[in-house]
């Protein structure tokens, strides 16, 4: 449930133009529209939805969506 | 130092000038980019930007703003003891733009005039600097000119503006509170790498490049902006700075009429607003119509969104500038009976 909610928030935060299926195993850099704007959206999502501060290094070090999910305290 | 209070400094007025030429981030670009641009505008919140004519400098906008303000205040030019220009877009690398403007504005040669090299955070620093000179007693009336020429046709974030603020000595003035900070360890987050002593301009910097046929042309002399680093810095630094200043001033948050933040982009500004739990009506924004006008964004927002309220009644306004440096400043100013002419377009 928590993971599903995280993926929904991830999709809202990244605001991709075309629908894309995302699972915890999805590799973020292989998502067709992943870009710097999407990365900013994810940082904001952590801050506003999860009250947690992450920075560009966290995004840089993450390979899959699950790597981001595991950052949740 | 960080926090400080200035006494006997009255906020007398403010004027803002923007170029007439408006660019749309949605339509003034390659049509193939339209879909990308729609997503960008949705997220950064910037649809329109103002851009100078090629011949127009920041100082031309600041000059027009200062002329309008002096005319509205009915101040004698010979009375002005200090002229401080806060910009990263000087007319020349040397001499200081403020000295050139001293002459253009017809101010006395006894005017103290110099530049300060600050960008998005600059307004509270400039206000403190001029305010401190007035509080010390020597300067009775002064002008602060803040802004930049940073818009480019292909960019999407930056917009041009020049602003003028007038301060004067008054024993009846309420105190102004400041919290000013600097962190040079993050200087690479926003960097104009070429043109200074570390890397002088050479011909190779002037050759545009792009990574593929869909990419926009770039210049290696252009501003480098590390988006995630700036976002993290802004959203983690600004909210506690606001709380710190209010605690120092012993002013509860609900007693502040308006919170005016540097207009960075919607993601940053909305995160800051939500972290502080501020209602939208207390946090005016000019991002959609004027973009990121660097150090001018606080005056631009005050002029465009608040001038009627600021002229009509007494207001307590918190101003927060943050960005390149890294640098961030917050100030709390009571404004009453000040002069706010309408936006100037030139």
CA of A47 vs chain B CAs: smallest distance (Å): 7
Question: Using the beta-carbon criterion (under 8 Å), do B228 and A17 form an inter-chain contact?
Answer: no
Q: Report which DSSP code applies to A69.
A: H
Residues of A in contact with B36 (CB under 8 A): 17
Q: What is the pLDDT of residue B346?
A: 95
Q: Which residue carries 């307590």 as its tokens?
A: B316
Of chain A residues 4-43, which have a CB less than 8 A from chain B?
15, 17, 36-37, 39-41, 43
CB-nearest partner of B228 from A15, A48, A55: A55
What is the distance between the alpha carbons of residues B270 and B286, in angstroms, rounded to a whole number?
13
How confident is the model over B253-287, as pLDDT tens digits?
Answer: 999 999 999 999 999 999 999 999 999 999 999 99
Sheet of strand B344-345, all strands in order from the earlier edge strand to the far edge: B112-116, B82-86, B141-148, B161-169, B9-18, B344-345
Which DSSP helix (H) or strand (E) runs through B343?
none
From the candidates A14, A53, A54, A56, which should be mutated to test the interface with B, based on the most B CB atoms within 10 A? A56
Residues with pLDDT less than 70, chain B: 1
CA-based radius of gyration for chain B: 19
Q: What is the pLDDT of residue B159?
A: 98
Q: What is the pLDDT of residue B116?
A: 98
Closest CA to B65 of B19, B96, B22, B110: B19
Residue A1 has pLDDT above 80, yes or no: no
What is the distance between the alpha carbons of residues A57 and A70, in angstroms, rounded to a whole number?
15
Q: What is the pLDDT of residue B179?
A: 98
Q: What is the pLDDT of residue B162?
A: 98
CA of B37 vs chain A CAs: smallest distance (Å): 11
Q: What is the pLDDT of residue A73?
A: 74
Of chain B residues 5-44, which have a CB less than 8 A from chain A?
35-36, 38-40, 42-44
CA angle B215, B56, B16 (to 5 degrees): 100
Would strands B327-335 and B344-345 be described as parallel, antiparallel, or unpaired? unpaired
Q: Under the phi-then-psi rule, with left for phi > 0, alpha for psi from -120 to 50, and beta for the rest, what region is B255? A: alpha
- Tokens found for residue B94: 């040397």
Question: Using the beta-carbon criterion (under 8 Å), do A40 and B43 form an inter-chain contact?
Answer: yes
Task: Tell me the count of A-B CB pairs closer than 8 A.
Answer: 50
Question: Using the beta-carbon criterion (under 8 Å), do B232 and A43 form an inter-chain contact?
Answer: yes
Provide CB contacts within 8 A for B100, sequence distance 6+: B59, B91
B229 touching A, CB under 8 A?
A: yes
Nearest CA in chain A to B273: A48
Q: Which residue carries 């599903």 as its tokens?
A: A4
- Tokens found for residue B4: 């400080």
What is the distance between the alpha carbons of residues B14 and B338, in angstroms, rounded to a whole number?
8
Closest CA to B336 of B319, B306, B311, B302: B311
A48 touching B, CB under 8 A?
A: yes
Q: Report which DSSP code applies to A14.
A: H
Q: What is the pLDDT of residue B219?
A: 80
Q: What is the pLDDT of residue B221?
A: 81
How confident is the model over A42-69, as pLDDT tens digits?
Answer: 999 999 999 999 998 999 999 999 999 9
Which DSSP helix (H) or strand (E) runs through B101?
helix B97-104
Do residues B156 and B43 touch, judged by C-beta distance below 8 A?
Answer: no
Question: Using the beta-carbon criterion (under 8 Å), do A48 and B39 form an inter-chain contact?
Answer: no
Do residues B120 and B292 touch, judged by C-beta distance below 8 A?
Answer: yes
Stated pTM of the model = 0.95
The helix/strand/coil state of B163 is strand
CB-nearest partner of A40 from B35, B42, B231: B231
Q: What is the pLDDT of residue B208?
A: 85
Q: What is the pLDDT of residue A62?
A: 96
Q: What is the pLDDT of residue B101?
A: 98
Q: Which residue carries 């990574």 as its tokens?
A: B211
Provide CB contacts within 8 A for A50, sequence distance 6+: A72, A73
Q: What is the pLDDT of residue B215?
A: 73
Do residues B98 and B115 touch, judged by C-beta distance below 8 A?
Answer: yes
CA of B169 vs chain A CAs: smallest distance (Å): 43
Do residues B226 and B233 touch, judged by C-beta distance below 8 A?
Answer: no
How confident is the model over A12-35, as pLDDT tens digits?
Answer: 999 999 889 999 999 999 999 999
């Amino acid at each position: 449930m928590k993971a599903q909610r995280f993926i929904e928030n991830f999709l809202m935060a990244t605001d991709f133009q075309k629908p894309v299926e995302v699972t915890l195993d999805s590799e973020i850099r292989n998502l067709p529209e992943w870009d710097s704007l999407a990365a900013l959206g994810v940082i904001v999502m952590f801050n506003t939805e999860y009250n947690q501060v992450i920075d560009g290094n966290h995004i840089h070090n993450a390979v899959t969506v699950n790597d981001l999910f595991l950052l949740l305290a | 130092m960080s926090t400080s209070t200035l006494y006997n400094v009255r906020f007398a007025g403010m004027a803002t000038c923007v170029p007439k030429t408006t660019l749309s981030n949605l339509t003034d670009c390659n049509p193939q980019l339209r879909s990308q641009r729609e997503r960008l505008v949705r997220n950064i919140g910037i649809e329109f930007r103002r851009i100078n004519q090629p011949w127009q400098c920041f100082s031309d906008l600041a000059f027009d703003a200062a002329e309008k303000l002096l005319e509205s205040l009915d101040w004698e030019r010979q009375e002005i003891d200090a002229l401080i220009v806060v910009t990263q877009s000087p007319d020349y690398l040397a001499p200081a733009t403020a000295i050139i403007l001293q002459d253009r504005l017809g101010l006395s040669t006894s005017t103290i005039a110099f530049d300060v090299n600050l960008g998005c955070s600059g307004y509270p620093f400039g206000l403190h600097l001029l305010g401190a000179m007035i509080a010390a007693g020597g300067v009775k009336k002064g002008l602060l000119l803040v802004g930049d020429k940073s818009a480019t046709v292909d960019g999407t974030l930056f917009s041009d503006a020049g602003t003028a603020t007038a301060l004067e000595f008054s024993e009846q003035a309420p105190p102004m509170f400041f919290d000013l900070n600097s962190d040079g360890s993050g200087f690479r987050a926003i960097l104009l790498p070429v043109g200074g002593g570390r890397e002088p301009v050479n011909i190779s910097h002037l050759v545009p490049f792009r990574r593929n046929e869909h990419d926009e042309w770039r210049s290696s002399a252009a501003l480098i902006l590390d988006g995630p680093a700036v976002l993290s810095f802004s959203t983690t630094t600004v909210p506690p700075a606001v709380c710190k200043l209010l605690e120092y001033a012993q002013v509860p948050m609900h007693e502040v009429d308006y919170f005016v933040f540097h207009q960075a982009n919607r993601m940053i500004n909305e995160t800051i607003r939500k972290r502080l739990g501020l209602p939208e009506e207390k946090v005016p924004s000019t991002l959609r119509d004027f973009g990121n006008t660097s150090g001018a964004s606080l005056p631009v927002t005050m002029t465009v969104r608040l001038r009627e309220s600021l002229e009509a009644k007494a207001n307590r306004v918190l101003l927060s500038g943050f960005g390149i440096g890294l640098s961030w400043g917050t100030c709390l100013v009571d404004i009453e009976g000040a002069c706010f002419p309408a936006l100037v377009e030139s």
